[in-house]
Chains A and B, each alone.
Chain A
Amino acid sequence: MSGTISLESVSKRFPGGVLAVDDLSLEVEPGEFLVLVGPSGCGKTTALRMVAGLEPVTSGQIRINDRVVTRLPPRHRDIAMVFQNYALYAHMPVRGNMGFGLKMAGVPKGEIRRRVDEAAAMLGLTELLDRKPRQLSGGQRQRVAMGRAIVREPSAFLMDEPLSNLDAKLRVEMRGEIIRVQRRIAAPTLYVTHDQTEAMTMGDRVAILRDGVLQQLGTPDEIYDHPVNVFVAGFIGSPSMNLITATLEGSAATFGGSRLDLPRRAGLAAYDGRQIVLGIRPEDFDTAGAGALELTTNRVESLGSELVAYLDCGQPGVEITARLERRAGVEEGRPVRLAVDLDRLYFFDPESGAAIA
């Protein structure tokens, strides 16, 4: 039950000419939970479906457990998949849904019963085994969908945004459930979502996709601390990172009416006198400390435990977001001086978007 999923230079071009996936390569290690994340239309679902065999591959190779499966129909790939809309078999009870795959594989009835009971127990579905899908709630259906996948004991798990149709609270609950189950089963899992929170909290590693192209592949920490380009920096983290176009003058960056003295960075030297994109995460502001900026408060949202302030920095069209403590003493319409954690600044090339070392 351990093994790998690997995509080697996989591309998908649809009949209309759209290039949905462009030369994607990645490998899911044994037992790993790899999240494929990106905005709508970035090709993540298409990539997943190609691994499942539901979408023909235009070019490239897919391997599961080192076996080339690129041209094989889904049933020969030894995979299991959980769909966004659960895709349960409406005319069968839960037990039938969960046992269907095993039945098709010719597994003897007694064994099917045993495995279904076991999976149901793991997921808390035992009382529901004789109910039909329409009698279940969203969360319950989701668990049945997972149960159906688990009993097969497949070489690889695929999940296509399974939590998107659940309400917020249920989503948080199910997140933990999915991880717990995955750890027990220990099969490599490829998980697709558009929600960066899910990606960051659930993934062993995260792959970020944009317009079919892989932006960055790494652990959540790597991605958060060392985003490889502007897109990744802005996509991960909520509220999003502030991205300001500034001019580098010597060792300081100027924008709007502000001037920020920067720490030494080797890569910055080449940009002296030119524009760079400066990135500051909202949580890296503080009311006291070095590296101060003079800003005017536009708006403040109180989240109870903290504040989110929206500030004007003097540059037209740019609004700074900052997460501050409750007692930050920020008032709407008033100027305020905020400090920036200088060790946590990010720099990007204004044209390519790539991070500047």
Chain B
Amino acid sequence: MTSIGWRIVKLVAILAIVVWSVGPILIGISTSVSTQREVNAVPTRWVPEEPTLNAYHDLLGGTSSQRAGGTVTEKGTFTRSISNSAFLSVVSTAIILVVSTMAAYAFGRLRFRFGGALLAILVGTMIVPIFVVVISLFKILADHQLIDSRRGLIMVFVATLSPLATWLLYTQVREMPAEPEEAALIDGCARWQAFVRIVIPQMSSGIAAVAAIIVLSVWGEFLIPLLLTSTMNAKPVTVQITEYVGKYTTNYPILAAAGVLALIPPALLALVLNRRITGMLAGSS
């Protein structure tokens, strides 16, 4: 195969990757601005003739079941679910970062007894499927009035995602040179002061990358909130969106609109912090 031949193959491959990655999102957008009739037509239309924002109005403003072909929405419900997701993501990530940065530093830099064992236990919990825990978790949370609450969910997220964050930051810490910290010790810092003033700034780009990954993880959480929420108190958008999937028929434009709105925050985050994220994911493997 000639060199030009390979170039064409590569170009085709790159195009395929882009189409494959973005295609379903575009389909979702296109669906969300179509009407139900266009969607239900056989054969169906890919791109609507007259794009409309009706589905978004219905989604956010509420609709009756007759008009919406099986999907019922109430005003403000979806908005509330988005705000829940946002709140949960931001607060959980903040707490997780604090907890994990401390733990990662302790495991990676300070050598102390049982440190290795504790790290192994922490990382080991990542393998456990959440189901073995969630039922008892339900009871424990119920006993403390934390069911169906944002606070309860945040606590669970902290417990389930801190191991991952700690692991990612731990690999960071181990690769960082230790000398600046030692210089700080000589310059008059106690260990904890060196940690706060020197090591944390040193870790800052790693922390940013992990923050992005954790925000995306919390935003995408489905199973845990599915089981631990019932009212709109804490229900995130991932759970809310499944309620738009009708049992027999589905109003696709509304569902797609929900999907599009639900994917905008993570997509924006991924695009903006793309370099950091790919760096961290690739680096820690």
| Chain A residues packing against B (C-beta within 8 Å) | 52-54, 73-75, 79-81, 83-91, 100-101, 104-105, 148, 152
User: Chain A residues near B193 (CB, 8 Å)?
Assistant: 104
- Contact A89-B184, Cβ < 8 Å, known A73-B190, A75-B190, A104-B193: yes
Is B134 on the interface with A (CB-CB < 8 A)? no
User: Chain B residues near A104 (CB, 8 Å)?
Assistant: 187-189, 193
User: Chain B residues near A89 (CB, 8 Å)?
Assistant: 180, 183-184, 198, 201
The 4 closest A-B pairs by CB, nearest first: A104-B188, A87-B179, A101-B187, A91-B201
User: 12 A-B residue contacts at CB 8 Å?
Assistant: A52-B182, A73-B185, A79-B186, A80-B187, A81-B182, A83-B182, A87-B183, A88-B183, A89-B180, A89-B183, A90-B201, A105-B188
- Contact A100-B182, Cβ < 8 Å, known A89-B198, A91-B202: no
B:181-208 near A, CB below 8 Å:
182-190, 193, 198, 201-202, 204
Say yes or no: A81 contacts B202, CB within 8 Å: no
User: Chain B residues near A105 (CB, 8 Å)?
Assistant: 188
Say yes or no: B186 contacts A52, CB within 8 Å: yes
How many Å from the CB of B64 to the closest CB on chain A?
58
A73 to B184, CA, bound (A): 12
Is B177 on the interface with A (CB-CB < 8 A)? yes
Q: A54-B185, A83-B183 are in contact. List 19 more A-B contacts (CB 8 A).
A: A52-B186, A53-B185, A73-B185, A79-B186, A80-B186, A84-B179, A85-B177, A88-B183, A89-B183, A89-B184, A89-B198, A90-B202, A91-B202, A91-B204, A101-B186, A101-B188, A104-B189, A105-B188, A152-B187
Say yes or no: A74 contacts B185, CB within 8 Å: yes
Say yes or no: B186 contacts A75, CB within 8 Å: yes
User: Chain B residues near A90 (CB, 8 Å)?
Assistant: 180, 201-202
Say yes or no: B179 contacts A148, CB within 8 Å: no
A47 to B78, CA, bound (A): 66
Chain B, interface SS category = helix
How many Å from the CB of A84 to the closest CB on chain B?
8
How many Å from the CB of B4 to the closest CB on chain A?
42
How many Å from the CB of B96 to the closest CB on chain A?
23
User: Chain A residues near B188 (CB, 8 Å)?
Assistant: 75, 101, 104-105
User: Chain A residues near B180 (CB, 8 Å)?
Assistant: 87-90
User: Which residue on chain B has the smallest CB distance to residue A75?
Assistant: B188
User: Chain B residues near A84 (CB, 8 Å)?
Assistant: 179
Chain A, interface SS category = loop
Say yes or no: B182 contacts A75, CB within 8 Å: no
How many Å from the CB of B197 to the closest CB on chain A?
8
User: Chain A residues near B177 (CB, 8 Å)?
Assistant: 85, 87
Q: Which of B182, B183, B186 has the most CB of A within 10 A?
A: B186
User: Chain A residues near B185 (CB, 8 Å)?
Assistant: 53-54, 73-75
User: Which residue on chain A has the smallest CB distance to residue B180?
Assistant: A87
A91 to B179, CA, bound (A): 14
User: Which residue on chain A has the smallest CB distance to residue B189?
Assistant: A104
User: Chain B residues near A86 (CB, 8 Å)?
Assistant: 179
How many Å from the CB of B201 to the closest CB on chain A?
4
A63 to B189, CA, bound (A): 21
Say yes or no: B186 contacts A81, CB within 8 Å: yes
A75 to B183, CA, bound (A): 10
User: Which residue on chain A has the smallest CB distance to residue B201?
Assistant: A91
Say yes or no: B179 contacts A100, CB within 8 Å: no
**Interface 1/0s, chain B 226-244, versus A by CB < 8 A?**
0000000000000000000
How many Å from the CB of A93 to the closest CB on chain B?
13
User: Which residue on chain A has the smallest CB distance to residue B183?
Assistant: A87
Say yes or no: B179 contacts A85, CB within 8 Å: yes
A54 to B191, CA, bound (A): 12
User: Chain B residues near A152 (CB, 8 Å)?
Assistant: 187
- Partner of B184 from the list A79, A80, A85, A100 (CB cut-off 8 Å) is A100
User: Chain A residues near B182 (CB, 8 Å)?
Assistant: 52, 54, 74, 81, 83, 87
A52 to B187, CA, bound (A): 11
**Interface 1/0s, chain B 155-183, versus A by CB < 8 A?**
00000000000000000000001011011
A105 to B198, CA, bound (A): 16
How many Å from the CB of B152 to the closest CB on chain A?
37
A53 to B180, CA, bound (A): 15
User: Chain A residues near B198 (CB, 8 Å)?
Assistant: 89
A87 to B181, CA, bound (A): 8
A281 to B209, CA, bound (A): 59
User: Chain B residues near A53 (CB, 8 Å)?
Assistant: 185-186
How many Å from the CB of B206 to the closest CB on chain A?
13
How many Å from the CB of A122 to the closest CB on chain B?
19
User: Chain A residues near B184 (CB, 8 Å)?
Assistant: 89, 100
How many Å from the CB of B188 to the closest CB on chain A?
3
User: Chain A residues near B183 (CB, 8 Å)?
Assistant: 81, 83, 87-89, 148
How many Å from the CB of A119 to the closest CB on chain B?
14
A98 to B237, CA, bound (A): 51
User: Which residue on chain A has the smallest CB distance to residue B178?
Assistant: A87
How many Å from the CB of A198 to the closest CB on chain B?
20
- Contact A74-B186, Cβ < 8 Å, known A87-B177, A87-B180: yes
Say yes or no: B179 contacts A83, CB within 8 Å: yes
How many Å from the CB of A159 to the closest CB on chain B?
12
User: Which residue on chain B has the smallest CB distance to residue A88?
Assistant: B180
User: Which residue on chain A has the smallest CB distance to residue B188?
Assistant: A104
User: Chain B residues near A75 (CB, 8 Å)?
Assistant: 185-190
